[in-house]
Amino acid sequence: MRRFELNYEIAVVGGGPAGLSAAITAARAGRKVILLEKAGYLGGNATLGLPLLGFLDLDGRRIVGGIAQEYVNRLTERGQCLGHRTCPKHNSVTNVDPEGFKLLAIEMCREAGVDIILHVEACRTEVENGRLNRVILFGKGNEISVEADIFIDCTGDGDVAYLAGCSYEAGQPGTGVLQPPTVMFTLENVDTMRLYDYIEEHPEEMTFSATIDHRPGYDADYFRASKNHVFVGLRKIFDRMHAEGKCPVDRETLIYIKSMNDGEVYVNSTRLLNTDATDIFSLTNAELEGQLQVAKLTKMLQENVVGFEDCFISSIAPTLGVRETRRFKGVKELIADEICAGLIPEDTIGLGAYKIDIHSGTDRSTLFRTVEQPFGIPYGCMVSAEIENLMFAGRCVSVDAATLASVRVMPQCMTMGQAAGQAAAMAVADRTAPKDVDVAKLRKELYAQKAVLDMEQVQTLPMNEF
């Protein structure tokens, strides 16, 4: 085995939307930063065909800026994003080209001076007197030992925090049931205009269960008007297929994200119940079963849905889209009562307003509950309460299960990553721990980076910056 010892000021583990944003922000602040990622590319879920949900609130006001908006602006300039669009069901939709995001991620890291190692995963840690001294990662017969002043866990599952022995919770209250993951896939040669004609003639296909909030106007005309949309529908067909034992997925509806390419859609409709993505055996089963579901679901669509008769699979995502695993103990915890009340505390580092979106891990149902007003994400939910030099960003932060169902969307993960990266850079510069960072000064820095932190900004921001 080959062994390497590295030393950095800031080590970010996980190169998805949160980790990418943390690493770029910290490097832009002049710190020596390494980004460590298990896949062979950067960008995580932003490269699977998923939309960026969470840029706008219920009233169509933009609540996210900073580096998240920078990604959108730069992709839009390249013709790889259509910007933000209001949505009667999701508040807003921002569709991006997944391959374009991969390339942009590399470019922005190199511009900022971030060092990158791919194909490595954390396998153990060394903790002494409440301080994380090093993270040891393994890949391709190489052991990489990384020492750092500050570590930021952006693995989604909180792998570093888990290996360091930090306290965590997982799943829904009382049951521990986790939201099911999805294998994303791409279909080509879909005649979406025929589909929209069909649902216009059959409006019952666009009805939803009582647990799913949505507003009027989510219909054929909305879908026809722009490729910048997410389609959720065909409930009657799915009900019939389930009753006949012919539906291969435990879902009430079809979900796809419209690509900017004609005839191309990204399908988010496989469902792997009873999956724990932190259990390697459960994860393996979900990956394999999810890929088999792709083929079966495509066949069902070809045989039963107008517009899909001649479609074909062009790609299956290389990794599972995971919605929920571990949430770690932070200096603060953000809870559902606070987000539903629209609280924006003094230590807010970014805003959220996406729906509480809980996919059942045991049956076909989904809870989709409206969040009426923007809420603040407090700095303390990203700071470990147990390891003095460890931070989190993304879906492993300190929140309850219902709050995770809102803040797990990518713009909020990017927002948290930016704030964590800036805070870590300040902590290194001031030779202090993340918990002792001057949050007022942090907020000032984030304001300068065009982050959105308060309602006064929300009232004046344009929906798009182009």
Please give the pLDDT value at position 386: 98
Q: Name the pLDDT band for 261 (thresholds 50, 70, 90).
A: very high
Structure confidence by residue, pLDDT tens digits, 22-74: 999 999 999 999 999 999 999 999 999 999 999 999 999 999 999 999 999 99
Structure confidence by residue, pLDDT tens digits, 375-398: 999 999 999 999 999 999 999 999
Question: Which domains, from first to last, does the chain contain?
Answer: 2-84+94-176+324-460 (3.50.50.60), 185-316 (no CATH)
Q: Name the pLDDT band for 121 (thresholds 50, 70, 90).
A: very high
pLDDT, mean over the chain: 97
Structure confidence by residue, pLDDT tens digits, 159-189: 999 999 999 999 999 999 999 999 999 999 9
d(CA 15, CA 397): 16
Structure confidence by residue, pLDDT tens digits, 335-354: 999 999 999 999 999 999 99
Which residues contact residue 431 at a Cβ distance below 8 angstroms, ignoring those fewer than 6 apart? none
Please give the pLDDT value at position 210: 87
Residue 294 burial (C-beta neighbours within 10 Å; 0-12, 13-18, 19+) = buried
Query: Whole-angstrom distance between the N-terminal and C-terminal Cα of the chain?
Result: 51
Residue 377 burial (C-beta neighbours within 10 Å; 0-12, 13-18, 19+) = buried
Q: Is the pLDDT of residue 400 over 90?
A: yes
Which residues contact residue 386 at a Cβ distance below 8 angstroms, ignoring those fewer than 6 apart? 130, 165, 166, 167, 329
Average pLDDT over every residue of 293-318: 98
Closest listed residue to residue 27, CA positions, set 9, 45, 44 = 9
Structure confidence by residue, pLDDT tens digits, 189-227: 999 999 999 999 999 999 998 888 889 999 999 999 999
